[in-house]
Structure 1
Amino acid sequence: MTQTGTIKHVFPASNTPHGFHSFFNYILPQTEAKQLYIIKGGPGTGKSSFMKRVGNYATEQGLDVEFFHCSSDPGSLDALVIPSLKIAFLDGTAPHVVDPITPGVTDQILNFGNNWDPDKLIPYKEDIMSINSRIKDQFAKAYMYLAAAKNLYDAYVFTESKAINTSQKFKLEKQILFQLFANVKDKEEPGSIRHLFSTAITGEGILDYIHTIVGTTKNIYFFKETLGCNSKELMIKIADTAVAKGYHIECYHSPVDTDKIEDIMIPELDLAITTSHLLHKPRIFPTSIFDFTALLDYSILKPIEIDLERDKRRFTDLLDKGCNTIATAKKIHDELEKYYVGSIDFNRIDTLFDTMIETLFPPQE
């Protein structure tokens, strides 16, 4: 009996204080892909369900797959990758519009718009346009809340940074870098970085799939930190060092501070480096733990604790408001999907699925 493949869950994009931040270009780069299927079609036309069906079928054949979830609707997929086949399926509609770069070579469009009956949609033109406008307004408001939250986040980081013992922090970072790479040989070719999110700001709050990314990794470095006393600079150094030594790595960014790397995977070394703090709480069992919170000077920290607690409370309140507003946008989007679901011929999608399975998994002679 064929062993079932594993599923890695990630976010290819996230809602952030700066708006919608996408790493879609890193899902499966053109230079690495055998085939990219770009799915076009409106909401509720079966794009996500189609990708899930293909992905589940692949795992039943013993292949590992990557499910890329939508940060605005985590139950839906924005993309699917089957790494061993070098094949990806991408939702090519807004807000992450994807168009063919090398059509007919690696890129192929699957037009789900061919499966709907326009006559069933036209009578609801004004309703559909009104709903789209309401969704846009909700996201605009959500990003205002998140931008305000980021200001409080920065204020917290600025205040707490005054209590960091910088010399001890330097020593700890130097120790970790040495421990990580002392016995790692340089390779002849340069490495590369794949940027994604393990955590996203959603209508359900801050969600993460860190445990599926780390998986059965043998060596797991775990940095316990605070928002202000963190490993931001160290994680950049780790990523730069690994790439300079010729390794291909994955960097997973913070949705609040997108310049901050929260997790690094180096598959060739069977190594994961992850962080733990208020917004990022991995459900894993580390092999090495380093405590950055111990680098705070309590004599300096004590007098500013009230300010820090106040800023943290305001920050989390604004973050919650942003998440709640995204949830409202999701509810309105559900109204939009109802119009399209009623106009779709799903039998055509079933036929397309059968054809795709025969193409990807031809019968063995």
Structure 2
Amino acid sequence: MKEELKRLREYLMTGVSYMIPIVVIGGVFIALSIALSGVQEGQGAVVTNPFLTKLMDIGSASFSLMVPVLAGFIAYAIADRPGLAPGLVGGVLSNNIKAGFLGGIIAGLLAGYIARWIKGWKVNKNLRPIMPIFVIPLLTSLAVGLLMLLVIGNPIASLMSSMTEGLKSMSSGNSVLLAIVMGAMIAFDMGGPVNKVAFMFGSAMIAEGIYTVMGPVAVAICIPPLAMGVATLLAPKKYTRAEKEAGKGALAMGLIGITEGAIPFAAGDPLKVIPSIVTGSAVGAAIAAIGKVGDHAPHGGPIVLPVVDNRVMFIIAVLVGIAVAAIMVNLLKKEVPEEELDDLEVED
């Protein structure tokens, strides 16, 4: 069992290592375009400059590749080249059904294990040459595609609907409890369906003139990437060199409110990272609710400070949330064996 878990981590980290440059490209270009444009009250990040718009387009295009690359190279690590194409297909479908990076991990694992199973079939020697380039990718893509669309897609849509209704029912009650729930949702899948429900609910409240719902959300949005960036600085021996580089990008993305900056860490070690950032974001959001922090823009992170009510409490909430998440994840993680520090990186 222990050996199988170790192999599973290696599969995930292979996907992560190829995904990190994609996240950095997307995050940095989007961050630059937003940082140089700023945010407007009630509208969020508004990018109008033609050059900055192009930067935003490049960054968005890169982000659209993030989940497919993660899924594709998880499958590649499991089944070698025959798994790559089905993994990429599964990753694109994960994007299409709004399943986020967690859906991408599922797609990559499905593609990898199905492709490896088909590779083990005993077939006529005349079929062997076309197995890796035709039969395995075709059958695996069909299986993964049907599973993603028929089995995974509908439950996600139902879950999003029920979560939205749940948040609506909570909005008339305890504001701190609502903030804790929304903060946890924001961090759980970092841009995925659960995150989007909380974000859209906070944005909808802005349209109704209620800014103290988006305030805690804006705090929670930036805590995961900032916390993981800080964690790599506090305990560098617990992260590979690739992760430490990703940490630098995560810090930049967190300042601009791009929660996806924490995805490489969550994808590589979900059982330790996700509970830590969920706890940190929930704590930060709760403090923001207690401090009556309001956000007049549908965006998050320190970049929204110009349109935030009670800025001091906003900053305190972010700092406490970062501290909680970074300390928790470093307590949970073990030091990376010296021989593995560079083993999980993409070759030059």
Tell me the TM-score normalised to structure 1 length.
0.27
**TM-score, L = length of structure 2:** 0.28
- Of the two, which has the highest radius of gyration? 1
Pick the structure with more strand per residue: 1
Structure with more relative contact order (C-alpha pairs < 8 Å, separation 6 or more) = 1
Bigger share in helix: 2
